[in-house]
Chains A and B, each alone.
Chain A
Amino acid sequence: MIQAFAFYLFAAIVIASGVLTIGARNPVHSVLWLILAFFNAAGLFLILGAEFIAMLLVIVYVGAVAVLFLFVVMMLDVDFAELRAGVARYWPFATLLALVLLAEIVFALAAWNAGTIVAPKASPTMQDVSNIELLGRALYTRYVYIFEAAGLVLLVAMIGAIVLTHRQRSDVRPQRVSDQVRRRPEDAVVNMHPGVGQGVEL
């Protein structure tokens, strides 16, 4: 009973906040609704018994990706009139996209119900092993090359981003902490004994 209640609660909030993400006038509100949707999706994963994925969803999407989204969107100066003009121009294309997605979902559901091609339907086995361990076994044995390749793709993306944004500036003097730490009193202070009426030559 409680599972059904929790499912309908989470599912209803996911759908409602998804609709509000699109419908909200203020882009910051949109992002906040999106975060609520992520959060409740994590709740749905929990009900499925995939607690690892649920936590990852919260850590990665809510904790990092959405923060950066919010960061960018908060600083945007959005012109609402222009946005509305955009809606009028793009709605046929958007409708087409939505229809294609809907069709794909219907096909995928139908195919899944009909059974997969090679193996019986995948479902979590071995109740006494936590799903982190099961995921680890699958990722580091059977899919190890694909997993490593995924890591490489991310590395390339990271290096690409750094290369694109990195610039060497010669007109700034950055702080060099090691120089500051290495500096000793005898490098900086000289004790002078100038005679009467004489100055100090620096």
Chain B
Amino acid sequence: MTAWFQGLLGYGFGWFVATLILVLLIALPLMLAVAMIIYADRKIWAAMALRRGPNVVGPFGLLQSFADGLKVFLKETIIPSGANRGLFIIAPILTFTVALIGWAVVPFGDGMVLADINVGLLYMLAVSSLGVYGVIIAGWASNSKYPFYSALRAAAQMVSYEVSVGFVLIPVILWTGSFNLSDVIEAQRSHVFFLNGFAFNPLLFPLSIIFLISAMAETARAPFDLTEAESELVAGYQTEYSSMSFALFWLGEYGNVLLMCGMTAVLFWGGWLPPVDWAPLYYVPGIIWFFAKILFFFFVFSWVKATVPRFRYDQLMRLGWKIFLPISLLWVFLVSGYLLATKAQCPTDAGALASIRTDDEADRFMPSCRSHMPNLGGRDRAAGDHQ
């Protein structure tokens, strides 16, 4: 598509137009997905509490989120007189923007990625570390004590869990040998013992659990939603917000949750690869597998929200620093040791790389070598077309 626009409008401008269209192609369905996922979240939560959940607006209440959105849109935006006006307005915009820009590097299918950059994973880390600013700025700019408490909690919580997320990602990077998210998925085709890496990787599995829990803490979802603990802080940093500025926080939060579910799928569960290595499953387009995995992990998020009571603050810190950090540090040693002990270094010359055709041959080398092997027989390798 980029090439077509470049032929039509010239190199630079064509690229600009094509990228803009692709951005809209990701952002607009994402907004729709967020609206539906809020509905799904409420339905799951209701089902687990033996309630009906939203069932009035539209068939099965499917249009509930849109009705809520319209209602919020028509409300008056109230800015407290003591608030810091500029920052008060910037904060929700920042949260929302940060939730959107992370999707730029997510590979939806083979080659279906907006920005196929070689530091994709670091970009994700950077984006997720920016997420805290919306909360901190909102809490401070509101000039009110509960939002401020919330901002302080958010700052400490996110900095703490960033550390454990960072250490969880190191074994993944060791395994895949690349920061590029498409290569990360490709490297998971390698086998651990006889198990296929993207169906179930026993070495990375404990880390995927830690990552999922840390993701809940990073996105301040229940049971780690201390930043908006209604029994203590009214609504936390959102207390003074109303109308669209409130809705932006809401959208940003769910956008972040979806992004984290997507990251769990990409980093540990093979992204757009089917759940098990069985030939007929490859006929289903990769993007459908990817969305199915995102929805599954979102279900886990809702499940946890519906069943687990909120953590106390010291328990949250204990979990992050005293449990997750040592375990993930240990796993860095374990994974690097396994790779060094069982896998050979990549062959350096092109001829040796080209001679590798089957999965068994490729498994002798580091998983990261797979993206350099041109003739490696992947069943769906030719399926996805590059943009």
Binding site for B on A (CB under 8 A): 1-2, 28-29, 32, 35, 51-52, 55-56, 58-59, 62-64, 67-68, 70-71, 74-75, 130, 132, 175, 177
Contact = CB atoms under 8 A, between A and B. Distances in A.
B132 A59 contact: no
B117 A51 contact: yes
Nearest to B90: A32
B162 A63 contact: yes
26 contacts: A29-B87, A32-B137, A52-B122, A55-B119, A55-B125, A56-B122, A58-B126, A58-B129, A59-B122, A59-B129, A62-B126, A63-B125, A63-B129, A63-B132, A64-B129, A67-B129, A67-B132, A67-B136, A68-B155, A70-B140, A71-B156, A74-B148, A74-B152, A130-B118, A132-B179, A175-B314
Contacts of A55: 119, 122-123, 125-126
Contact of A1 (B12, B140, B159): B12
Contacts of A70: 136, 140, 155
Contacts of B355: none
Interface residues of B, number: 28
Interface of B: 12, 87, 117-119, 122-123, 125-126, 129-130, 132-133, 136-137, 140, 148, 151-152, 155-156, 158-159, 162, 179, 314-315, 318
A71 B126 contact: no
A51 B117 CA distance: 9
Given A63-B126, A132-B179, A74 B140 contact: yes
A28 B140 CA distance: 9
Contacts of A132: 118-119, 179
A71 B122 CA distance: 24
Contact of B129 (A29, A62, A130): A62
A166 to B, nearest CB: 14
B127 to A, nearest CB: 8
Contacts of B117: 51
A74 B63 CA distance: 41
Nearest to B314: A175
B160 to A, nearest CB: 10
A124 B130 CA distance: 29
Contacts of A56: 122
A32 B137 CA distance: 9
10 closest Cβ pairs, A-B complex: A63-B129, A55-B122, A58-B126, A71-B155, A130-B118, A51-B119, A59-B126, A55-B119, A59-B125, A74-B140
Contacts of B132: 63, 67
A130 B120 CA distance: 13
